[in-house]
Amino acid sequence: MGKIAATRLRDKMIVTEQGHEIGTLFDMVINEDTGELIALVVEPTTDVILDNMITDKENLVLVPFSAVRAVKDFIIVDVRRIPKKSERVGMFAKVPE
């Protein structure tokens, strides 16, 4: 994936490879030590998303960067790589307070 300015990503729509909307990009989680992009923080478009995906205390969805497949007009993600509430793993094991 090429380089892109973070400001160009703000408010981009996040969609699955099948074209289903997840929400709009609200923020990003970055490792301060390495600069690695860890996750996208997404404002969901529907309550159905909230029922299935891991959220923070503000009901924003956490999408691991490893799920990102392409960034163009939309940010396209592989929904299979997004942990569900029942699959809390890694940094997603603890929901940020």
CATH number of the domain where residue 28 is located = 2.30.30.240
Domain membership flag for residue 93: no
> How does the average pLDDT of the chain come out, rounded?
84
Interval 26-61: pLDDT, tens = 999 999 999 999 999 999 988 777 778 888 889 899
Domain membership flag for residue 22: yes
Domain membership flag for residue 94: no
Higher pLDDT, 7 or 45: 45
Domain membership flag for residue 52: yes
Domain span at residue 30 reads 6-82
Domain membership flag for residue 87: no
Q: How many domains does the chain have?
A: 1
20 CB-near residues (< 8 Å, 6+ apart): 79
Domain membership flag for residue 71: yes
Domain membership flag for residue 67: yes
Higher pLDDT, 80 or 50: 80
User: Tokens for 86?
Assistant: 């029942």
Domain membership flag for residue 95: no
Does residue 8 register a pLDDT over 50?
Answer: yes
Average of pLDDT values for 7-15?
88
Does residue 5 register a pLDDT over 60?
Answer: yes
